[in-house]
Every structure is written in C-alpha cells, then in structure tokens.
Structure 1
C-alpha cells in the first residue's frame, strides 16, 4: 500500500525523467522512504536519486549514524553524500530551529532546476505542526502547516508520505525487517514536538481516530485561503515594492478607514517576498502603529530576530543590524585597497588623470572614519558650509546608513564622503575614490 501510494504521488507531482534528492536522517520515516526509493528506482531505471545525510554533530553517536546511513543507501543502490554542519549553541534561537535551518541550507546546495527534494514527514508530523502553530497563535499561513509539494531552491520539495499515519510506516518497516536510528533526543520532552508526540497526540488519536485527516483538511483549507489572499493582493504588492526591496507606505493606505487589516496582510507578504522571518502578531502591531503610522519626520524602528524595520521618505526598509563602526579609524594608502569593517566592502583611493580629489600632502595622513556628528563642510559646487547631517538628508541617505558611510579624512579634515561628494577645499584631478560595497561598485563621487 505504501509503495503504491508513493508511485501515485510521483505520477501526479513529478516531471519525468525524475531527479530526486532524499533527505536521509536515518530515523524510521526517512529509512522507510529510502527503502521505497530503492524499489522505485528498480521499477523506473530512467529516474535518479541521491541521498544526503546532514551530520549536525549534536549527538555522540552522530558519526555512527552517518556510517549506518551510508550502508543502508548502498543496500538500496542509492549514492549518498554526508554534509557536516555547525550550530552556534547558546543563542536565543532553539536548537531545533537552528538544526532545521542548517539542514535545509545544506540540502539547498543539491537542488538544481527540476530536481525534487524528498522529505519523510507524515500525517502525525502534520498534526503536531498544526498544534504547534495553534500554540504560537498562528493565522492561516501558519495553520496551513506543511504542503505536500512546494517550490524549494531552484527545484521542488515533495513530502510523499504526508498523508500516511506513522503506524503504517512502522508496519512497513517491520514487514521488510528494516532497522533504523533512534535519536536519543526524541525522548526528551523538553522539546515541544516530543511532548506533543508522547503525551498529547496519542490521547487525541485514541479519542478521535480521524483527527489526523480532519486536521489535514483544515490545513489545506487554511492554505487555500492564504493563497487566495496572496492572489488578491499580488498586484498591489508588486506596485508597492521597489527595486531595492523597500515598500511604499502610500500603497498601504494608512490614512483610509479600515485599511489596517489589508495593510498588515501586505506587510506579511512583503516580509515573505524578501525572505524575512515573520514577526509575531504583537511585533506586526508595532510595525503598523509605531512605524507605518509614525509622523513623516520621525525615525522609528521595530526589531525582531536579525531584522529591523525602518522608515525613510515614505518607504519601509528591512535593515540588518550591523556592529557599530562609528569608532573605527582606518589608515588609507593611495593605490591600495582599504578593507572596511562591518561588511562595508573596501575603498580605493587611486591616482587618476581625470579624478575628483587632489593628492594628499606629505603631512596629511589619509584615514577613513564613520562618525559624522558635528561635521560641517562645503561640497564642490555648493555655496557655503552645511552640517553633514543636513547634507545626508539632501542626498537621500537614510539615518541608519549615515554611520556606515565612509568619510575620507586628509589629516583631521574631512575631504570626501564616499559615493556622495568631495569637499571644496580638497577638489582636484589627481585621485579617484571608489567604494566597492556588496559586490557593487559605488564609483567615485557624485558632484
């Protein structure tokens, strides 16, 4: 029955000739899926499959597990790769979440266009996922749980066992005399999913034997509602997002009565579109009331995880928090790259026949700094001096970028602001300044 179900799933969801990558943990579920795939390849020699075992290094038995997975893959006639990943323990993110993120990041490298990643989640996993979403207070997006098929990397992710209860998978393993890995952490009920698995779902299944199917139907309905909402808002979202992935506040219609629900939905779809971890309901409320509805001259922000939402010139930006570089002072040598801190790339002050800066004098050591406070200068072509803060505003530099914009000093005097302007007193044709930032070249000076 299980093999027939697998073939039926592939017939509908997989293009031929099929190329599969199987995520093999070695636990019961993926062990059974490996055996099924061995049978499938024998019946369909035009298909191909590679197993990938992700070695997290969390268990003292991790090396043994990798060896056993390699042996089982060989028995099934399937090649295998072992990917070792490292986790940063002690962060606020749970070990479970870190391991999951690292696992999918490793698997992503194996997915080329047309390749299908196979994972072995089943109906009991889906029930647990919905219960965890309820515990978090998720909306339709979270309650839609795990789809059977979804886009992943440049290919697809398919869960062919998702409609099968765990007991059917156990029966298959016993019938074919398979052995598998028992991860000792699976019995640790400090983890929410294990608590549900051992304490809650057995009671639910004994009381309501059809609950797996009922919950699966609800998940599908929630997914359909979420997809419909996305479809209805797709055009508005595409108009609101610009090339730099910022979102126009005017498209949220914050001043119109009843706009909040639609606006928050657009915010969620924006976060999903640009790959930002979804905020909680309370954080989304903060984004709406503290950032979207802030006064135009305000400088608000809301932070969660590794993201912060900022506002500038009627647009919203998701900004990654960076270490403060404002105290850095780095020496610069003419014709040599200067590597900047905080992932800001590098600067090159190079001699040029058609530059914008004069050469520094022998008593003018060149340095790059990031502290604009108190500086007052006159850019080339301008009349009189202005505070650098006002000049940043004129040039459209958002507040969070102002202490990340390289300031080039000759001695103790500001000579140029990378990517923006040269100071009048240091203008010349001897040097050109180039800022290489995020693999893009911000060339010399806008004068």
Structure 2
C-alpha cells in the first residue's frame, strides 16, 4: 500500500506546479487522493484546494457535499463546492453533459502553475479504451486518458492511472477512510457501468495483465498522434488563413486520408470535439465539394462547417436574432444579444464611425436591428442605393455573419451598419458609433 503514496509523491514532485487542486467527488478514488494530498501538503507545505462539484442529479447530492466539506476540515485542505447547471443538449448523453459541466467548473480554479488532480485509475483507463474501440476511434481516441496534459491555464495529472481499483480500495480500508457511493454507478444502462460489471471482470480473469497492455497501447496511440500532428503542422499552417479558415483548392491535391487528418487537426486547434470518420468525409463531399451556387452547412454539435469564397469555416451556432430590436440612446451603451458585445452612440468625434442625425431627432425613433431583409442603403462615397444583401456580398461578409451585424435605423432608413459603413444621408462628425465586440 505504501507504493500508492510513493507513486503519488514522485509524480507531484515532477510537476512544475506550486499549487494543487483536487477534483473531489467524495468517491473512494478522490477520497484516497485527498488523504494522499494531505500527507504531501504536510511534508512539502504547498498550497492545496479540493473542489466538489454538486451536479444535483442524485437525491443524495446535498449529503455528499456536506461530507466532502467535513473530510476537508479533517485533513486541513479547504473544500469549495461548485453547483453545476445540468441542461441536456441535443445529441449529448447525460454523462457527457455532466462531465463538460464539471470540467468547466474545475477550470475556474486552475490558473498558471496550478495542477488539477484527478482520481482516475487503471480500471478507468481500460474502460475508456474499450469505449473508444466501441466508437471506432482512431489513435487520438484510443490514446484514452493521458497521465499528464494541459488543462485550462495549468496542468492536469492523474497520479493513480497505473494503479488498480482494488489497490485504491485496499488503501482506503487500511487507513479507515470513509467515502460516498454514487448509486448511478450500478445502472448498467450507462455504457461504462455495463463494461465495469459485465465485461472487464471476464477480461481480467482471462488476462490478468490486461491493464498494463492497455496502458502501453494507449501510450503508443498517443505517440502516433503526436507524430502525426508534428508531420502535418507545416502543411496545416500553409492552408490556414488568418481568420482560421481552411483553403479548399490546396486540399484537392491531398489524398482522402491526409484530408481527413487535416480536418481533425484543424478542428482540434479550434477546440471543437473530434468528428467521426463519416463527418470528416461529409466535410469534403457535402460542404467543400457542394455546387458553386449552394450555401452548404454541416452540423457538428455546437458548431457548423460552412463554405465561403473557396474556404472552409468552422463557426459556432448562434440563435436567430432577426426579430430582435432595441432603441439606441445616445451616451448609453447597448448590450447586444448572442455575445456580440456593446454598441454605443457618443456625441462628438471618437474611435468609430463618424455620423450625424437629423436636427431635433426623436431618440425613440433610432433603433438597432439585425434583419437586413429588403433594406437598402447608399454608403458614404458611393453612387446609388443597393440592397444590404448585395453590399454584404461585395464586402466579403459570409452569409452566416450577415445577421450578426447591428443595423442602425431611423424610422425605416438605414443610418449605418456598425463595423462597416455610414449611409450618405447621415455622414457627418456630430456623433460616433462604436461597436465593442466581445
């Protein structure tokens, strides 16, 4: 049992971190980590914190939070409880939603020189590897869980990854530790629980060393993924535009296998979940190679793959704000929907679009809209009026961005489009229109 602390101590000492944050569910794995971390803190006088995420999915959740606070007081490590707002997303399992919510809350506590400690062990690694196989994953998925990687602004470490669940439970028993038991861990409707109770016991009985074999395979897959990323780094850089879009014509010269890898590394760089093999093929067949007059769209969860002027774009999904309108008051910043920032109309000159308004204009008649449908304008310095749709096309604004630009109206006249132009009839130096984007 002493080897558990030996492994733990060696790994923490090898980290460049000066502060350690424990993801503390209260289960046996994190309960043992709390005990190990308390011992390490006494020996090395480092800053430590435990974070308990209250998901609210169990009737016992309040009790678990209280017990975690009590155990933190016992060990001298402060415990912070974070409350997750679990909202089921389309196409996402409850496990996935809860996991993403948990990591988002943990990330708040991981700054530079901070290391997040997770209690995952060799049995978890085996299950993760098998789940990746079930999904038909490539090397990145089969790499399963890394022992150490980047997380938020710091590091993430799984110090028990080479130890079995049985070793951890034996340590807890020997040291008279108490822990909570999540009743959902018995529900075999969840794939991981099905593997844990029905599959892995038979695998371990047949091949007792399977944990070590799986760990080697995961590490080899991680190495292959690193090599692939290194080999494709310069090629991907040559295809990328400064707006993070991808050149389609240059991709035509690549094999399908290389294109698929480039799509994966492109999306990984953008922080988007890895697409399936079917989706990488659809990016090429249904978006990149769509008819020239088409406006293709591929849905990847919270993001869309789009095409514009010979380039592929990965854009976040936005709510339709075509019907949104609001009065724009002078010297009173207006907060825009969809995280589009703030819009302000200020008297005098400044940093933004210079404009004027009719003498004695009525403030209630000046409003902001995002719907260009049927509207026309004559930008300052141009001859003739044109539909906003045509002006956006001429200015190279992708179709999915055209309803994200604030249109300032006086009655039904287009005064300006923030970030683009002021109409000729409202040119002047009396006011400044400033759009501060998030």
TM-score by length of 1: 0.90
- Paired residue for 2:405? 405
Give runs of aligned pairs for residues 91-240 of structure 1, distance below 5 A: 91-240=90-239
Matched, 1:350 2:346: yes
CA distance in 1, matches of 2:137, 2:416: 50
SS at match of 1:403: coil
Moved more, 59-68 or 131-140: 59-68
Between the two proteins, the alignment pairs up a number of residues equal to 432
> CA, structure 1 residues 339+151, in 2 after alignment: closer, same or farther (shift >3 Å)?
closer
Please give the per-residue CA displacement for 1:102-146, whole angstroms capped at 9, x wherever unaligned.
211121122122221111111100000011111111111000000
CA distance in 2, matches of 1:173, 1:110: 27
Report the Cα offset of residue 296 of structure 1: 5.1
Matched, 1:72 2:71: yes
CA distance in 2, matches of 1:113, 1:325: 38
- Paired residue for 1:383? 383
- Paired residue for 2:7? 5
Moved more, 73-82 or 201-210: 73-82
CA distance in 1, matches of 2:356, 2:37: 69
Report the Cα offset of residue 429 of structure 1: 3.0
Matched, 1:371 2:371: yes
Moved more, 386-395 or 364-373: 364-373
- Paired residue for 1:20? 20
Please give the per-residue CA displacement for 1:188-216, whole angstroms capped at 9, x wherever unaligned.
11111111111111111111111111111
CA distance in 1, matches of 2:169, 2:349: 76
SS at match of 1:433: strand
Report the Cα offset of residue 332 of structure 1: 2.7
Residues 20 and 115 of structure 1 are in contact (CA less than 8 Å); yes or no, is this contact kept in structure 2?
Answer: yes
Moved more, 170-179 or 215-224: 170-179
> CA, structure 1 residues 95+175, in 2 after alignment: closer, same or farther (shift >3 Å)?
same
Report the Cα offset of residue 158 of structure 1: 0.8
CA distance in 1, matches of 2:192, 2:276: 20
Residues 120 and 158 of structure 2 are in contact (CA less than 8 Å); yes or no, is this contact kept in structure 1?
Answer: yes
Please give the per-residue CA displacement for 1:74-106, whole angstroms capped at 9, x wherever unaligned.
333322222222211475422211221121112
| Structure 1 unmatched ranges of 5 or more | 439-447
CA distance in 1, matches of 2:149, 2:113: 12
Aligned counterpart for 2:277 among listed residues 269, 281, 287: 281
TM-score by length of 2: 0.92
Matched, 1:336 2:326: no
SS at match of 2:44: coil
Please give the per-residue CA displacement for 1:226-264, whole angstroms capped at 9, x wherever unaligned.
0100011112223333443333334xx3322x4322122
Residues 296 and 314 of structure 1 are in contact (CA less than 8 Å); yes or no, is this contact kept in structure 2?
Answer: no
Report the Cα offset of residue 345 of structure 1: 2.7
Report the Cα offset of residue 371 of structure 1: 2.3
Residues 254 and 260 of structure 1 are in contact (CA less than 8 Å); yes or no, is this contact kept in structure 2?
Answer: no
Residues 296 and 313 of structure 1 are in contact (CA less than 8 Å); yes or no, is this contact kept in structure 2?
Answer: no
Moved more, 46-55 or 87-96: 87-96
> CA, structure 1 residues 370+9, in 2 after alignment: closer, same or farther (shift >3 Å)?
closer
SS at match of 1:128: helix
Residues 254 and 293 of structure 1 are in contact (CA less than 8 Å); yes or no, is this contact kept in structure 2?
Answer: no
CA distance in 2, matches of 1:377, 1:166: 68
Residues 28 and 180 of structure 2 are in contact (CA less than 8 Å); yes or no, is this contact kept in structure 1?
Answer: yes
Report the Cα offset of residue 297 of structure 1: 5.0
CA distance in 2, matches of 1:367, 1:58: 44
- Paired residue for 2:252? 255
| Structure 2 unmatched ranges of 5 or more | none
Residues 53 and 84 of structure 2 are in contact (CA less than 8 Å); yes or no, is this contact kept in structure 1?
Answer: yes
Moved more, 194-203 or 380-389: 380-389
CA distance in 2, matches of 1:40, 1:428: 68
Please give the per-residue CA displacement for 1:23-68, whole angstroms capped at 9, x wherever unaligned.
11111111112222223333x2333322221111221211221222
Residues 55 and 82 of structure 1 are in contact (CA less than 8 Å); yes or no, is this contact kept in structure 2?
Answer: yes
